[in-house]
Amino acid sequence: MDARARWRILRLHVEDQVPLARLARETDVGLRTLERWHARYRADGYAGLEPASREDAGSRRLPPDLVDLIEGLALSKPRPAIATIHRKVRGICAARRWPVPSYSVAWDIVRTLDPGMVTLALEGAASYRDKHELVLRRQAELPNAMWQSDHTMLDILVAGTDGKPARPWLTTILDDCSRAVCGYTVFLGAPSAMNTALALRQAIWHKTDPAWPMCGLPDVLYVDHGSDFTSGQLAHTAVDLHIRLIHSAVARPQGRGKIERFFGTINTELLATLPGHITEGHPWPTPKLSLAALDSALEAFVATYNDRTHSELGTSPRSAWIADGWLPRMPESLEDLDGLLLTVAKTRVVRRDGIRFQGLGYVSPTLAGYVGRSVVIRYDPRDITEIRVFDHDEFVCKPVNQEHYDQKVSL
């Protein structure tokens, strides 16, 4: 293994602080070997990772071009037999007056080719990735050290706003350390930055239910390469909230196994018990639930999931998240969080009777000083009984719709 291959493994310890013991388990390189590499790297830098020269190095005494020729033939598709390679090499050597290698020397050159290089040349990049690329199963050691977020289309039909059957999506925020569900949103239509923002808003802020204590800002948010996760809005929000945003590689879900397993649990334990569940090989059912009813069922399931013992933890996600008691990092206010996460609506002019939005009226005594002026409103589409008003990015007030102040009105 050359210095580059050794560094590809060792840098995970040097730069990412992955323990050498874990690297030994994941890479099949012995712990003592890794410790020796690390000691050489600390003493001599990258050069220290170069393999030590053997006393018999160069004993083949073959021209480098001849070695390259044998290797190139061995890596060609379809891969020729050693006898075929040796026969071709003999002819070329005679023409160029090179020493003719024996069959055993040709076989030795082919045999010592890097297995990863052979796979890459003969089977392609996808096969190389699956067989040889290092995959580390990272485990956050503290709550809120890393959250995972992902979407899934649910195996259930609900009645859409137009009465037609619709298949909803679920966005979930999962704490990597405790497996606790910190937030979620269920919606119709394709995943968007707005849906991701709503799930993050719920995950970050305090919940009204004291049995759902998960909150705070994560140090790392691990997401896939979907367009909503790569949007400028999410990137800017992460910077402003001091969250490190990490994207998994395109079309490679490694590292998202925990949240994928949670989605499987949702499907088998909750959706399978609800009317409208889609079963493979059967006609699609008639939807019976509304999106709001499904949301309520999901909320109840999340509460149960967070409070039951997790097989890998030996305790409940809720208990693992609380741990010995700690203070999560929080935004200064909900208004600050909304200003970063929620969609900005079109500007509205404050009238004498307040603000009109989505056919509803919103009033607040504070708006009296803004009559005739344009303001920006932000809102939660899941509950528009109240909106938040901003003037040049400064929070003004939170007017309510008096007709529905004690209800929940969703878009």
| 232 and 297 both lie in a single domain | yes
Cis peptide before 78 (omega within 30 of 0): yes
Is residue 183 a part of any domain in this protein? yes
Is residue 138 a part of any domain in this protein? no
| 382 and 308 both lie in a single domain | no
Is residue 96 a part of any domain in this protein? yes
Neighbouring C-beta atoms of residue 209, cutoff 10 Å:
9
CATH of the domain at 77: 1.10.10.60
Is residue 331 a part of any domain in this protein? no
| 292 and 232 both lie in a single domain | yes
φ/ψ of 274, rounded to 5, equals: -105, 150
Q: Which residue, 132, 165, 191, sits at the end of a domain? A: 132
For 34-43, the pLDDT digits (tens) are 888 888 888 7
| 36 and 170 both lie in a single domain | no
- Would you state the pLDDT for residue 18? 84
| 153 and 126 both lie in a single domain | no
- Would you state the pLDDT for residue 406? 66
pLDDT of residue 382 exceeding 80, the answer is: no
Is residue 213 a part of any domain in this protein? yes
- Would you state the pLDDT for residue 56? 47
What is the mean pLDDT of the segment spanning 60-66? Answer: 78
Count the domains in the chain.
3
CATH of the domain at 294: 3.30.420.10
Instruction: Indicate the pLDDT class of residue 349, thresholds 50, 70 and 90.
Output: very high
Is residue 330 a part of any domain in this protein? no
What is the mean pLDDT of the segment spanning 277-290? Answer: 89
Nearest 5°: CA angle at 169, between 256 and 386?
Answer: 110
| 174 and 232 both lie in a single domain | yes
Q: Which residue, 132, 164, 186, sits at the end of a domain? A: 132
| 161 and 297 both lie in a single domain | yes
pLDDT of residue 140 exceeding 70, the answer is: yes
pLDDT of residue 366 exceeding 70, the answer is: yes
For 69-126, the pLDDT digits (tens) are 999 999 998 889 999 999 999 999 999 888 899 998 899 888 888 777 788 788 887 6
Instruction: Indicate the pLDDT class of residue 201, thresholds 50, 70 and 90.
Output: very high
Helix (H, G, I), strand (E, B) or coil at 408: coil
What is the mean pLDDT of the segment spanning 45-53? Answer: 71
- Would you state the pLDDT for residue 128? 65
Are the CB atoms for 244 and 238 separated by under 8 Å? Answer: yes
395: domain range?
Answer: 344-404
Is 0.75 topped by the overall pTM? no
Most confident of 24-38, 49-63, 181-195: 181-195
Q: What is the DSSP string of 319-357?
A: HHHHTT-------S-HHHHHHHHSPB---EE-BTTBEEE
Instruction: Indicate the pLDDT class of residue 319, thresholds 50, 70 and 90.
Output: very high
Is residue 315 a part of any domain in this protein? yes
- Would you state the pLDDT for residue 135? 45
| 162 and 124 both lie in a single domain | no
What is the mean pLDDT of the segment spanning 243-253? Answer: 68
Q: Which residue, 77, 103, 132, sits at the end of a domain? A: 132
- Would you state the pLDDT for residue 407? 67
Report, in angstroms and rounded to the nearest whole number, the Rg of the chain calculated over CA atoms. 30
Are the CB atoms for 246 and 208 separated by under 8 Å? Answer: no
Are the CB atoms for 252 and 265 separated by under 8 Å? Answer: no
pLDDT of residue 146 exceeding 60, the answer is: yes
Mean pLDDT (the chain, rounded): 84
Instruction: Indicate the pLDDT class of residue 28, thresholds 50, 70 and 90.
Output: confident
| 225 and 305 both lie in a single domain | yes
Is residue 389 a part of any domain in this protein? yes
Question: With b meaning 16 or more CB within 10 Å and e meaning fewer, what string describes 260-275?
Answer: eebbeebbeebbeebe
| 176 and 33 both lie in a single domain | no
| 297 and 225 both lie in a single domain | yes
| 156 and 286 both lie in a single domain | yes
